[in-house]
Amino acid sequence: MNANANEPAKATTDRVRILETQVLSDDWYLLKKTTFDFLRRDNVWQRLSRETYDRGNGATVLLHDRRRDTVVLTRQFRFPAFVNGHDGMLIEAPGGLLDNASPEERIRTEVEEETGYHVQHVKKVFEAFMSPGSVTEKLFFFVADYESASKVGPGGGVESEGEDIEVIELPLDDALAMIREGNIVDGKTIMLLQYAALRRLAKSADCEA
Ligand SMILES: Nc1nc2c(ncn2[C@@H]2O[C@H](COP(=O)(O)OP(=O)(O)O[C@H]3O[C@H](CO)[C@@H](O)[C@H](O)[C@@H]3O)[C@@H](O)[C@H]2O)c(=O)[nH]1
Ligand SMILES: [Mg+2]
């Protein structure tokens, strides 16, 4: 809503004036602190300072076998979750950073590296900022069909990069129960599993109609 209903709404770029950007850390990824003026809705410019953690964008995929109603997930150690009180092992949908590739291209390579499943077609279902107050990353979400015959390798990730990824195949219903029980606590994974549950719900409503 506009502060003054008679004035046309301003583009966001006209409401932000960047004054100074400071690199706080440029090691594995990039942490910056930016000072900028922001035009509030009441037409007052306010000086703000925000840190942004830039790791590029990422992609993730839910592998679903429609015939058996199973999904493929990964289990690996996540240090940031460990330091925040979780025991560190996280069950997640496979995925990773784009490294400048297209999301579709990257996710097919990543899923094979992490799970050993080769998927031909991936369908994009949505995009989301996962921590928009601090992390610049936008995540591209995909779903793909798989079957037992799609398994072409062991998966597990790249050992030299410190990846040690366990591949788990389980019924979709069991995965949904694990969210309720607090055993799946990763945001992207919860979003994809709930997407699959909603799609199943919509399909069964179609059948009843
Ligand atoms: N040396 C070093 N290695 C790191 C560091 N941070 C990550 N790595 C390594 O960089 C690689 C990144 O692997 P990817 O599969 O591309 O990414 P990810 O760790 O699964 O997670 C990213 O993508 C997800 C999207 O599915 C995101 O959800 C997640 O937050 C993250 O951005 C892994 O080998 C990881 O060990 C670091 O600070 N130092
Ligand atoms: Mg990964």
pLDDT in tens, 149-184: 999 999 999 899 999 999 999 999 999 999 999 999
Task: Report the atom number in ligand 1 closest to the C-alpha of 130.
Answer: 28
Residue 200 above 90 pLDDT?
no
Give the pLDDT confidence score for residue 11 in this predicted structure: 94
Distance, C-alpha 209 to centroid of its chain: 34
Looking up tokens 């950007």, which residue turns up? 21
Q: Considering the chain, what is the average pLDDT of its residues?
A: 94
Q: Which residue minimizes the CA distance to atom 34 of ligand 1?
A: 161
Compute CA 169 distance to the chain's CA centroid, rounded to the nearest angstrom. Answer: 20
**Looking at the predicted structure, is the pLDDT value of residue 39 above 90?**
yes
Q: Between these two residues, 5 and 1, which has the higher pLDDT value?
A: 5
* Ligand 1 site, residue 87, Cβ cutoff 6 A: no
Residue length of the chain: 209
Nearest CA to ligand 1 atom 14: 96
Query: Does the Cβ of 137 fall within 6 Å of ligand 1?
Result: yes
Q: Which atom of ligand 1 is nearest to the CA of 99?
A: 16
Looking at the chain, the whole-number percentage of residues with pLDDT higher than 90 is 87
Rounded CA gap, 33 and 72, in Å? 39
Number of other CB atoms surrounding residue 127 within 10 Å: 12
Give the residue-averaged pLDDT of 46-53.
98
Per-residue pLDDT at 6 exceeds 80 = no
pLDDT one-digit tens code per residue, 72-131: 999 999 999 999 999 989 999 999 999 989 999 999 999 999 999 999 899 999 999 999
Confidence (pTM): 0.93
- Per-residue pLDDT for 208 more than 90? no
pLDDT band for 5, please (50, 70, 90 cuts).
low
Please give the annotated binding residues for Mg(2+), written as ranges.
Answer: 110, 114, 163
- pLDDT greater than 90 at residue 207: no
Binding site membership of 81 for ligand 1 (Cβ less than 6 Å): no
Cα(139)–Cα(176) distance, integer angstroms: 21
The domains located in the chain, with CATH, are 12-54 (no CATH), 58-208 (3.90.79.10)
Atom of ligand 1 nearest to the CA of 97: 16
Ligand 1 proximity of 139 Cβ (cutoff 6 Å): yes
Residue 2 clears pLDDT 60, i.e. is over it: no
Q: Averaged over 14-21, what is the pLDDT?
A: 98
d(CA 42, CA 4): 8
CB 72 within 8 A of CB 166: no
Q: What is the CA radius of gyration of the chain?
A: 21
